[in-house]
Amino acid sequence: MNTLIVASTNAGKIHEVRLALHDLRDWAIEPLPSGLPAIEESGATFLENAALKAVHYSSLVEGLALADDSGLCVKALGNRPGVWSARYGATAEERNRRVLTELAGLADSPDRGAVFHCAFVVARAGVVMWSTEAQLDGQITSEPTGGSGFGFDPIFFVPELRKTLAQLTTEEKNRTSARGQALVRLRQFLTWP
């Protein structure tokens, strides 16, 4: 049995990875063991941050370490919060409120366009083995809508679906989101002969 350690403490991310890969019989999908030292996300891009985490944690665990860095880039906010998405407030609600408040203060900019980015990196024993990046275009709503998902999902509207990511089931989100796209590519990597 092969082991893929999801190098995240975000329960929502771990759940999405497990759900997307649940039928891979040769793979055990595990969370990070508790007590491991964290690493500062000092990269300038999502891919750099994911690589930092994958290399760091893969040197501390057996098997492969999967790290992701993902976030929201809002065009009218100069692509903020960007790589600082997880640090844009103490809680998801605070981060969402901050984005909505900053947009409300830009009355002269009706553009609420945004992009969700996701970068995945897989490493073993401190060496990067594989990486991918994906994105999803959408818009920021004027208020949170929907009770599923996590993070910025309640304020990220997908025009083609006419729903926010928080209004989608986990299965629908895994087919649509930037992380869902990256998960499809991860599955291909893990099942390559």
Output DSSP code: residue 37.
P
Displacement of CA 155 from its chain's centroid (Å)? 15
Dihedral pair phi/psi, residue 28, rounded to 5°: -100, 125
> Among the options 23, 26, 68, 69, which is catalytic?
69
153 labelled catalytic:
no
Q: Name the token pair of 172.
A: 């629908």
Residue 179 exposure: Cα atoms within 13 Å on the Cβ side: 29
Question: What SS3 class is residue 36?
Answer: coil
Q: Which long-range contacts (CB under 8 A, 24 or more apart) does 80-84 make?
A: 83/41, 83/43, 83/44, 83/45, 83/46, 83/49
Q: Residues 6 or more apart from 80 whose CB is under 8 A from it? A: 73, 74, 88, 102
State the Cα–Cα distance between residues 165 and 150, nearest whole angstrom.
9
State the Cα–Cα distance between residues 89 and 126, nearest whole angstrom.
31
Which residues are the active-site residues?
69
